[in-house]
A and B are shown apart, each in its own frame.
Chain A
């Protein structure tokens, strides 16, 4: 039992002494996940919106597929991206494997269906009168679409926080695509996995605490957006 208490003590020493290694790992994790979320939002929000307002063949199938991919196993994403960017893969020439870019690609793929599916349900829940009201007040097509998105803003922010919560905490894709290289691709989750297996509990607990704090902050935002939606 004693080693756990020692680990916790070490962890707080590491955090409060602003340990360089710990914070470079935290910064890298945030950089990778925030970039992945920004990119998947940029693509996923317009796609989720278009899927909702347009009628086309196979629409139902896409929606079911996106909802299925909400539970995309992270190691499967790792596997797929790995097979494309490894030296022998079709994108091998770019030398992406074991770089932060590879992790961003993996997390982007994880986050995209979440953003699309949740944007779809957000826009679908918006009053049908929003579009007509905008048009009667002189909006063009693009402006009326923007009005609908704006009405859905809190639900869409919820989608973004949900996706961020998922990618910041995932370990499978980050491990397989980043390779957990110290000072380059070591994120909070991969570091915790490694340090724990090495018996470095203090380091693992310190990172785990920070990860939980980040999750807490994300959830506070999430609940704030949820309360504004009603």
Chain B
């Protein structure tokens, strides 16, 4: 059996009298990549901050390699905190050069300047930024800054690397680069990587294990097209689910109030003309992403919010879809799953 590097038990985080995290057990094995997925507000960032010992939880125990971390001992926390590091979603670079930024974690650990120089050289090589040492931090592009931030974390040689939404705010070209770096880190440095993302396919592409978080709880598997909103009753008595952008879906429900729904991407029918059928949900949208996966094609269609639709390769070519194609999405009220 693989060795656990980090584990939490009976973790509860309460904020404003609301339980925002409620996890019975969560274990991370050495040198594996974990993805934590879930919609906005599901508690991903809070969980990372607690695991990285930057935030405290009201209840629960945290173990680092079988050793319980006693929250009251500041020097012990610092010692373990220095074995891991977190790269924030919206990272900050110090007003300094690339070298000065990457050196920071080594300086606070009082490592010799020879060790610093060597490690910084290797870390910059790892993220493909050799020769950037003397560049000013404020003269970097968004993607370059993100890689400097990763190098600044790697140079510490952490046992666990936390990445909060590492690709949320950069363009596609840099997303590919950052994803390659993540797999390279595990392969070459054997570091345990724990990252959050709201991109399910990214999670499955990179991670050995995907942890799904919904409303602060771990659930079996997070479905595609998971949306948060509210069930409202219409004048005619039918129930609708209202979500961002005032988009409403016909659903089958007894209750009203705040809720999560998901729509299976295989249950959505695409057509160029409005589709005459008994299905009560029909929306016009624009194709914004096309990802081919073996014999299936995954499309992202923006109807005010992005929805994922999966169709076969055959129908994709028959329909002749392109980026920007306007299409109708049709699905039954009963295809909307309620949580």
Contacts and interface: CB of A to CB of B under 8 A. Distances in A.
Interface string B147-178: 00000110010000000000000000000000
Given A138-B82, A147-B94, A151-B94, A129 B88 contact: yes
B85 A138 contact: yes
Nearest to B77: A140
Interface in A119-165: 127, 129-130, 132-140, 143, 147, 150-151
Interface residues of A, number: 16
Contacts of B94: 130, 133, 147, 150-151
B156 A138 contact: yes
A129 B153 contact: no
A138 B88 contact: no
Nearest to A136: B86
A140 B78 contact: yes
Contacts of A137: 85, 104-105, 108, 152-153, 156
A20 to B, nearest CB: 45
B105 A132 contact: no
Of the candidates A129, A132, A136, A139, the one having the most CB atoms from chain B within 10 angstroms of its own CB is A136
Of the candidates B54, B91, B94, B108, the one having the most CB atoms from chain A within 10 angstroms of its own CB is B108
Given A132-B54, A143-B108, A138 B81 contact: yes
A133 B105 CA distance: 10
Nearest to B54: A135
Say what secondary structure dominates the interface of chain B.
loop
Contacts of A132: 54, 88, 92
Contacts of B88: 129, 132-133, 136
Of the candidates B85, B95, B104, the one having the most CB atoms from chain A within 10 angstroms of its own CB is B95
A45 to B, nearest CB: 18
Contact of A138 (B90, B91, B92, B108): B108
Chain B interface residue number, banded: 20 to 34
Nearest to A153: B95
B52 interface: yes
Contact of A136 (B54, B95, B109): B54
Say what secondary structure dominates the interface of chain A.
helix
A127 B95 CA distance: 11
Contacts of B81: 135, 138
Contacts of A133: 88, 91-92, 94
Contacts of B86: 136
Contacts of B92: 127, 129-130, 132-133
A127 B81 CA distance: 22
Nearest to B79: A138
B44 to A, nearest CB: 16
A147 B152 CA distance: 15
Interface string B68-88: 000000000010011001111
Nearest to A137: B105
Interface in B93-114: 94-95, 104-105, 108-109
A129 to B, nearest CB: 4
A15 B88 CA distance: 59
Nearest to B158: A138
Contacts of A134: 104, 108
A151 B92 CA distance: 11
Of the candidates B78, B85, B88, B94, the one having the most CB atoms from chain A within 10 angstroms of its own CB is B94
A188 B225 CA distance: 76
Nearest to B53: A135
Contacts of A127: 92
A138 B105 contact: yes
A140 B108 contact: yes
27 contacts: A129-B88, A129-B92, A130-B92, A130-B94, A132-B88, A133-B91, A133-B92, A133-B94, A134-B104, A135-B81, A136-B54, A136-B85, A136-B86, A136-B87, A136-B153, A137-B104, A137-B152, A137-B156, A138-B105, A138-B109, A138-B156, A139-B108, A143-B108, A147-B94, A147-B104, A150-B95, A151-B94
Given A137-B85, A137-B152, 19 more contacts: A129-B88, A129-B92, A130-B94, A133-B91, A136-B52, A136-B85, A136-B88, A137-B105, A137-B153, A138-B78, A138-B81, A138-B82, A138-B105, A138-B108, A139-B104, A140-B108, A147-B94, A150-B94, A151-B95
* A-B pairs with lowest CB-CB distance, top 5: A129-B92, A137-B105, A138-B82, A136-B86, A139-B108
